[in-house]
Amino acid sequence: MSQTERKKFLPISKQDIAERGWDACDIILVTGDAYVDHPSYGAAIIGRVLEDAGYKVGIIAQPDWKTSEDFLALGRPKLFFGITAGNLDSMVSNYTASKKPRRTDDYAPGGRSGRRPNRATIVYTSKIKGLFPGVPVVLGGVEASLRRLAHFDYWAEDVRRSILVDSKADILVYGMGESQILEIARRLGDGEDIKKLKDIRGTVIVRSSSEGFEGAVTLPSYEEVSTDKNKFNEAFRLAYLEGDPVRGKPVIQKHSARFVIQEPPPLSLTTAELDHYYSLPFAREGHPVYEKMGGVPGFETVRFSITAHRGCAGECSFCSLSAHQGRMIQSRSKESILNEVRTLAARKEFKGTITDIGGPTANLYGATCEQWDHSGACRNQQCMMPAKCKNLKLGYEKSMELWKEVLAVPKVKHLFIQSGLRHDLLVEKESDAYLEALCRSHVSGQLKVAPEHASDAALKMMNKPPFKIYERFVERFKVMNRKVGKEQYLVNYFISSHPGCTDQDAGKLAAYFSAQRMHPEQVQDFMPLPMTLSTCMYYTGKHPMTGEPVLSAKTYKERQFQRELIQPKREGVIHPPGVWQKTSGGERLMGNKNRPTFSGKRFPRKESEHGRA
């Protein structure tokens, strides 16, 4: 690898540092992902943002935590170590919803699993603290963000303390992180003590006293939420209501004799700030050291895709996006996106297709609300449930104009939208032109949507629209494809075993599949993620906002039975006898009188069955 090739990336070795004429890095970022210098990778964008501000930044990617060698690769930084488990929580990266070890890892070279430890943030911090005593440690990324307060951990089946307490790091950044990390770097560069930093939005700190935070909202303590499920739900509800950058207050949660203090969320980035961060000089490649290992599989899915916006106003119960990116949409300008398209089109490996321009929800690009700037997201009303709020203005005209201009860029032959779309925003007349343009030119044969279930009772628990809305969309999609002369299909995502979903609900979904002659592949078992409303329901047995009792399939047998109802022909699955029966009219769902069902009373739990791998 030549010196020129190495300089396209942030330094990963002392040789790289020496070639730049540095004596040391100011900041070293440690990540559980392979180093891909692309804006969809958290460590890469934070590294480039810091570099753009004048800091000397190095990267330690997927270090071997069983030895010290990788952690010593760049020496001692002048300001701090930044630590992230990667683009996913490390437990999600390492285990399936049934708690089986994953066989692959898309964020590792060659897709090989086992290159990151369980609870990577804690493990990396422990190594750094031992090797570099006195150097500040800043936590960030999804794992830290969603575990910033006391939380239920699905893999431990217990309530864990804030990851900041468990890791013994100095400060935690939650959310996307650019403004926070720049402020931390500036203050430390000015000589401030990491132990005294406060008043930085989007951060969490630990103090021996709550003095100075008199206006904060006090949550039930860790000791309370770990022993009282009603207190757990109360803590979630109070924290959730303060999760807005405009009206949110600090929240405090006592952990033994210490106080975990969460500052209010960071203010939304301006369009100019967002544009600037995505214009930084990313190599847009995996580091060359991975070439002989087979590259990084996850990068191939985003190589020619573009992030157009951040945030999601959907507030699905099972989704962590609103806790991490916020409810308010932050969109890039058309000019910024077009510049990125031109950059991609100029690359020698570009074959003419932009694979995606999207975000958490593709059809929320350019969405606005007049309340957001001065009042934030509404405290007692949602943007999209039970129906779209009249104040939420969709950016469909902006999207269609953008798509048209993207296709006019030289060398661009196709632009497809691969990010998921909210189907409930595509059933009214205001979406006619958008849906027609989408079907005519921007569907690669398959369009991703997430009806999630066919039972309205289950959908209510998921905070998703009734199934009839999805059925309306299906008809509109068919009609529109006939109009534009295309034969295109829907890729539907469904969830099994979500809290509140009974065997009867799963049976409704199975019956729908049978009636439609569908054999779905995209069915995901519910996985309780930290800081989501669904996880509260799963753990406590109650809805945290209403107190309504909610039953959940928890044992391996309960969850597996619902999955087998929904996917009886899945390869490797032996479905319960009597569930499906051949008839002259095809297949129909039958009861299984020899097997107890989850229909209001849970199976007696056997500990030996729980979490079976």
pLDDT value at 578 more than 50: no
pLDDT value at 586 more than 80: no
Mean of pLDDT values over 57-67: 97
pLDDT at 566: 86
Q: At the topology level of CATH, where does 304-471 sit?
A: Transcription Regulator spoIIAA (3.30.750)
pLDDT at 517: 84
pLDDT at 520: 75
In the chain, where the domains are located: 3-205, 304-471, 497-613
pLDDT at 1: 56
| pLDDT tens-digit readout, 454-465 | 999 999 999 999
pLDDT value at 594 more than 80: no
pTM above 0.85, yes or no: yes
pLDDT at 568: 75
pLDDT at 582: 33
DSSP 3-state assignment of 603?
coil
Per-residue pLDDT band at 4 (split at 50, 70, 90): low
Mean of pLDDT values over 50-75: 97
pLDDT value at 219 more than 70: yes
pLDDT at 569: 60
| Rounded Cα distance, 309 and 39, in Å | 12
Residue 392's φ and ψ, nearest 5 degrees, are -85, 110
pLDDT at 439: 97
Mean of pLDDT values over 391-412: 97
User: pLDDT: is 611 or 567 the higher one?
Assistant: 567
3-class DSSP string for 97-115: CCCCECCECCCCHHHECCC
3-class DSSP string for 188-241: HHCCCCHHHCCCCCCEEEEECCCCCCCCCEEECCHHHHCCCHHHHHHHHHHHHH
| Rounded Cα distance, 31 and 28, in Å | 10
pLDDT at 604: 31
Residue of 187, 7, 177 whose CA lies nearest to 87: 177
Average pLDDT value over all residues in the chain? 90
Please say whether the beta carbons of 295 and 273 come within 8 A: no
pLDDT at 324: 85
CA–CA distances in Å: residue 447 to residues 129, 250, 417, 444, 532: 47, 41, 8, 7, 27
Mark out the alpha helices in 408-502 (DSSP H runs): 432-441, 456-462, 467-484
| Rounded Cα distance, 244 and 501, in Å | 30
By DSSP bridging, strand 392-393 and strand 368-369 are antiparallel
| Rounded Cα distance, 491 and 465, in Å | 18
Burial category of 16 from C-beta neighbours within 10 Å (exposed 0-12, middle 13-18, buried 19 and up) = buried
| Rounded Cα distance, 163 and 124, in Å | 12
User: pLDDT: is 328 or 594 the higher one?
Assistant: 328
Mean of pLDDT values over 40-67: 97
Neighbours of 459 (CB within 10 A): 24
- The full DSSP string for 41-107 is SHHHHHHHHHHHTT--EEEEES--TTSSTGGGTT---SSEEEEE--SS-HHHHHB-TTSPBPSB-TT
Task: Report the CATH superfamily, name and number, of domain 3-205.
Answer: Cobalamin-binding domain (3.40.50.280)
pLDDT at 146: 96
| Rounded Cα distance, 260 and 204, in Å | 7
| pLDDT tens-digit readout, 516-575 | 888 777 788 999 999 999 999 999 999 999 999 999 999 989 999 998 888 876 544 433
| Rounded Cα distance, 612 and 601, in Å | 21
pLDDT at 182: 98
pLDDT at 268: 93
Mean of pLDDT values over 327-343: 97
Mean of pLDDT values over 104-132: 97
| Rounded Cα distance, 354 and 348, in Å | 14
Per-residue pLDDT band at 593 (split at 50, 70, 90): very low
Per-residue pLDDT band at 5 (split at 50, 70, 90): low
pLDDT at 2: 59
Neighbours of 488 (CB within 10 A): 16
Lowest mean pLDDT among 3-7, 248-252, 460-464, 524-528: 3-7
Mean of pLDDT values over 410-420: 96
CA atoms within 13 A on the CB side of 88: 18
pLDDT value at 611 more than 60: no
pLDDT at 15: 95
